[in-house]
Chains A and B, each alone.
Chain A
Amino acid sequence: MSDQPPVREPVWSLSRSAIGLWVTQGVAGTVAYGLLLAAFVLLVPVDAGPVVQPLRWAGGAFVAVYAVLAIAVRPRLRYRVHRWEVTGEVVYTLTGWLTRTWTLVPISRVQTVDVTRGVLQQVFGLATVAVLTASSQGTVRIPHLDLGVARHVADHISRRAEQTRDEAT
């Protein structure tokens, strides 16, 4: 009973290409940490102090663990926990694994809809939809949708917002 989520889960998942993007990010992060470690190993001689040897081992272990988590685990986990949904009335998202956050915004209160594409996102044909309201807290971000889906969603939201806008902000 207590494990029941407080509110319903949105139905749709992000694009499967998002996994590829997150894996790429994980690989990039691993390479960056690996290079840092290599620089440390090459530039700091072992006899520089008693902590150098343990630091090398710790660094190696860190890079290995990070690689497994960031490449094999995190992308799939993220794909599973990010969910979203757009109906005629609302935009609804769920994010977060340990701390979960559900955000619901009625389309009648939407002020602007942004579609942004980062460099990596362009490579994977993805886009992020950000829905802004009058409240600084009430911003909904749907990351990594297929470009066509993102454009369609943004179009739908702005059209519905036009139809259902009410005066209150």
Chain B
Amino acid sequence: MTEPVARRTSPRVLLVHTVTFRQARSLVPVALALVAGRGLSGGTTTVVALVLGITALSMLWASVAWWRTSYADGDTAVVLTRGLLSRSVRTVPNDRIRGVEVEAPPVHRLFGLVRVRIDAAAGTVVGKDEELLIDGVRRAEGDRLRAHLLSRRAVVATEAAGRHSAPEPVEEQLPPFRNRWLLYSPLVGSYLVLPLAGVGALFRLLDDLPDRYAPHLGPDIGPPDLSDRWLVAAVLAGGLLLLALGAILGSAIVNWRFRLVLRGGSLIAERGLLTRRHTDLEVDRIRGCAVSEGLGMRLVGAARATALVTGLGDAARRGQLLPLGPRGRAWLLTDLLVPSPGSLQHHPPAARRRRLGRALTPGGVLLVVGAVLTVRSGWWPALVIGAVVTALGVPLGLARYAALGHATGPRSFAVRSGWLVREHTVLQRRAVVGWQVRQTVVQRRAGLATVQACVGAGRGGYAAVDMAAAEAADFARAASGPWAGALAG
């Protein structure tokens, strides 16, 4: 065992932090207040002086921070020391490291630097506190650090298991991601929101701009002529096209050249157009996989696959196996990691009645209100809307019922539900840390029950909605272990 060497981050990080005003960012509001208070009476000179001053201050700040920060990756733990006046020393034992992420934001990449994020989640604690960030080391040093930390972790694990020779890390390329699958993004809700958020931010910026700089429309351009149907249709089509392009662009920035590699017990994902991210998952911590298909994605047979990993912060993003792609590929990856429990069992007809009842209720209420209004005051539109909503409730209820299902296999089990986003979750038997059986009054009369497996990964619980009440105990035992036999008594 050698004494760990305290290392500094690369001095080039000074430039990165100066350019991005990382430390001085907190001064910007002060500067703005100063400007607002005194006005920009001095004109250009004041602005230049202010910019120079902030830059100099930022550089000074970054230098001090760099000078006082050091890290050491020893055989047993990583230690990060920092802080000017109040020194903070954070130590993470190597066997507690859950994952190492190497990311390269654009400015860092310009200077050949990376950021290393070390995850050490502890039990149920959620938050950024369980994270250790080494900002601004050279790419080669980042890779060395990652390899070192992960190999130490593997050695610790094998020593704990009583073996002495660490297995050779073999790299196995999993089926590749194709960038053309990004074209599916306009059909995914979360990617569609991206351009909308961008437009919102732009509008807020325009609002904040002083009137002097805001573009003015000439007085001869009045409000648009809404009577021209073609114009309206063209504007709508153009807007939709822009939205679709924005969604593709947004998902390309995050998911460009997504790559998944299996190396020595770790699953490594690489992604990103501007910021290249390198995420590391321990295969041993994977408890299951979820394949989700949104409404739009189902139309074209697309899906996304996510690994459910214990003790992983920000698991929804980091656990991704396939951000977007054909359904077959999502299942291929899922089956590689979690054995398939076989095809799903449908839920009893009573479940279909319940789904239909729930889907028809809003329409029914509207129908009654509409009928009352029609009889009393002759106002019929509510009645028509009610009829339409009720009619739409039938396919909705049937579709929601069709999504329900569960299956148990020798080493895993699966549940599926959801209509807007249909989620098919396959979990290992060992993933279950508890069972929760729920029964409402309506379910009791229909002989149904909702059985939820409590899992220390992902959302925390995955439910088989409206399964036959009589099968609940058997399902729980088949999906977890003999201990669940306590349910049957």
Looking at A4, A7, A98, which has the most chain B CB atoms within 10 Å of its CB? A7
Chain A min CB distance to B432 (Å): 8
Check: B391 CB closer than 8 A to any chain A CB: no
Whether the Cβ atoms of A135 and B435 lie closer than 8 Å is: no
- Contact of A7 (CB < 8 Å), options: B287, B445, B446, B488: B488
The CA-CA distance from A4 to B470 in the complex, in Å, is 8
- Contact of A101 (CB < 8 Å), options: B310, B438, B447, B457: B438
The CA-CA distance from A111 to B469 in the complex, in Å, is 30
Whether the Cβ atoms of A103 and B435 lie closer than 8 Å is: yes
Q: Please provide the chain B residues from 430 to 489 with a CB less than 8 Å away from any CB of chain A in the complex.
A: 430-431, 433-441, 444-447, 449, 451-452, 454-457, 459-461, 469-470, 472-473, 476, 481, 483-484, 486-489
A102 contacts across to B, CB distance below 8 A: 435-438, 487
A104 contacts across to B, CB distance below 8 A: 434-437, 476, 484, 486-487
Known contacts A134-B456, A137-B461: does B486 contact A6 (CB below 8 Å)? no
Check: A99 CB closer than 8 A to any chain B CB: yes
Check: A22 CB closer than 8 A to any chain B CB: no
Query: For chain B, what secondary structure do more than half of its interface residues adopt (helix, strand, loop), or is it mixed?
Result: mixed
B218 contacts across to A, CB distance below 8 A: none
A137 contacts across to B, CB distance below 8 A: 434, 436, 452, 454-455, 459-461
B483 contacts across to A, CB distance below 8 A: 89-90, 106, 108
Check: A136 CB closer than 8 A to any chain B CB: yes
Q: Please provide the chain A residues from 89 to 135 with a CB less than 8 Å away from any CB of chain B in the complex.
A: 89-90, 92, 98-106, 108-109, 111, 132-135
Whether the Cβ atoms of B438 and A99 lie closer than 8 Å is: yes
Check: A138 CB closer than 8 A to any chain B CB: yes
Known contacts A101-B436, A102-B436: does B446 contact A2 (CB below 8 Å)? yes
Chain B min CB distance to A133 (Å): 4
Number of A-B contacts (CB under 8 A): 134
The CA-CA distance from A106 to B429 in the complex, in Å, is 13
Chain A min CB distance to B39 (Å): 53
B488 contacts across to A, CB distance below 8 A: 7-8
Chain A min CB distance to B94 (Å): 17
A99 contacts across to B, CB distance below 8 A: 438-441
> Of all chain A residues, which has the CB nearest B458?
A135
Query: For chain A, what secondary structure do more than half of its interface residues adopt (helix, strand, loop), or is it mixed?
Result: loop
The CA-CA distance from A166 to B287 in the complex, in Å, is 15
Q: Given A7-B473, A169-B311, A169-B456, 19 other A-B contacts at CB below 8 A? A: A2-B445, A2-B469, A4-B469, A7-B472, A8-B489, A98-B441, A99-B439, A101-B439, A104-B487, A106-B434, A134-B310, A135-B433, A135-B456, A136-B460, A137-B455, A137-B460, A138-B461, A166-B430, A168-B431
- Return 19 A-B CB contacts under 8 Å, by A number: A3-B445, A4-B469, A4-B470, A5-B439, A6-B437, A8-B487, A92-B486, A99-B440, A102-B438, A106-B433, A106-B484, A109-B433, A109-B434, A134-B311, A135-B455, A136-B460, A138-B455, A138-B461, A169-B456
Shortest 8 CB-CB contacts between residues of A and residues of B? A134-B456, A138-B454, A137-B461, A138-B434, A8-B489, A6-B469, A136-B460, A6-B449
